[in-house]
Amino acid sequence: MIVMNNIAFGQYVPGTSWIYKLDPRTKILLTIAFIVLIFLIPNLYGMLIALALFVIMFLTTRISIIKVLKGIKGVIFLLLFTIMLQLIYTKSSEVPPLVSFDMSLGLYQILIMVGLLALYFTTKKYIKFTFSYLLVIVFLGFLVMWNNPFNLFSWPFNLNFLEFKFDIYAVGLEKAGFIFLRIVLMIGMTSLLTLTTMSTDINNGLEWILSPLKLLHIPVGVFAMLISLTLRFIPTLLIESKKIMNAQASRGVDFQEGRLMDKVNQIISLLIPMFVISFKRADDLSNAMEARGYIIDGKRTKLDELKFNYRDFIAYAVTIALFAVVIWSMVYYG
């Protein structure tokens, strides 16, 4: 097994808890079912209940929470951007806002925010948590626009170009929390699948699930193998890219600083060896599969036959019950 401390997606973590003893077909089907279930939940309260159930299920698997959090780390910007859009554009004419900020934008505020950006780009290479540092800078910029320090003075040349209100409504907070939990739960469920299921088991499970497509003469085995290999080599290629970046950084390449053309050249210098490594690994993999007698779309036998047990039937029963509760809540609450 490849040791990957900073990569969560596609990494299998050995374990002995109940989720490891489920059939891979069950885990794949339940992951799809739970994602569908998440989209059927009609309100924030239902999403909070789903989050509580996920936390209980996660704690019983005895998997490190750091693994799942690393899977969420890559979409933090998307989450924050979505939350801000909901807070800005979700309004209500029936109820007053929860919080109202009197915002203004003037010459001095623009100069201060330009200074904050200059401070960020000058000092970010010395800060370990760059994204958190950026959030602090953005928050300071918001404070400058909200609590305009120049309003304390009766200067005739304050030069305020724009004054507006930033209102936060309860419905906006509810929608932001709803979408936030939906994305987090989707990532958490897919992370549990890849963390607790080996790539070969995922391949076998997908091939069985897609087997009805064989009636349409679709090469199901080939598609299942492609998906399995993709999941397997995502963390491997990420590790290789990290090695290349470290090697180039030791030669003086700075991926965080420089002009636009410099960054384009840095990306090209990263992509070219990545393509070379990818083709080399693909060639090695094809030779290894050919040496082991793999034939595309050929009839193959399984070393380990997949079998359902009582745990799988319990999992299916619980899933059906959850679907019934969600559908009932949708009908009852409209």
| SS3 assignment for 248-263 | HHHCCCCCCCCCHHHH
Low-confidence ranges of the chain (pLDDT < 50): 1-7
| Rounded Cα–Cα distance for residues 263 and 267 (Å) | 6
Would you say 47 and 181 are in contact if contact means Cβ atoms under 8 Å apart? yes
Task: Report the Cα 30 to chain-centroid distance in Å.
Answer: 19
Q: List the one residue out of 302, 72, 328 whose CA is nearest residue 189.
A: 72
Q: Which residues contact 238 (CB under 8 A, 6 or more apart)?
A: 4, 7
For residue 5, what pLDDT is reported? 44
Element holding 165 (H helix, E strand): strand 160-168
Q: Which residues contact 148 (CB under 8 A, 6 or more apart)?
A: 104, 106, 109, 160
pTM: 0.72
Q: Which residues contact 163 (CB under 8 A, 6 or more apart)?
A: 102, 103, 104, 105
Q: Which residues contact 268 (CB under 8 A, 6 or more apart)?
A: none
Would you say 100 and 165 are in contact if contact means Cβ atoms under 8 Å apart? yes
Q: Which residue has the tokens 């009932």?
A: 328
Residue 276 CA: distances (Å) to CA of 244, 265, 269, 324: 12, 17, 12, 51
Residue 95 CA: distances (Å) to CA of 3, 91, 170, 298: 53, 9, 9, 65
| Rounded Cα–Cα distance for residues 139 and 124 (Å) | 16
| Rounded Cα–Cα distance for residues 220 and 214 (Å) | 6
How far does the chain reach from its first CA to its final CA, in angstroms?
49
Would you say 34 and 192 are in contact if contact means Cβ atoms under 8 Å apart? no
For residue 33, what pLDDT is reported? 92
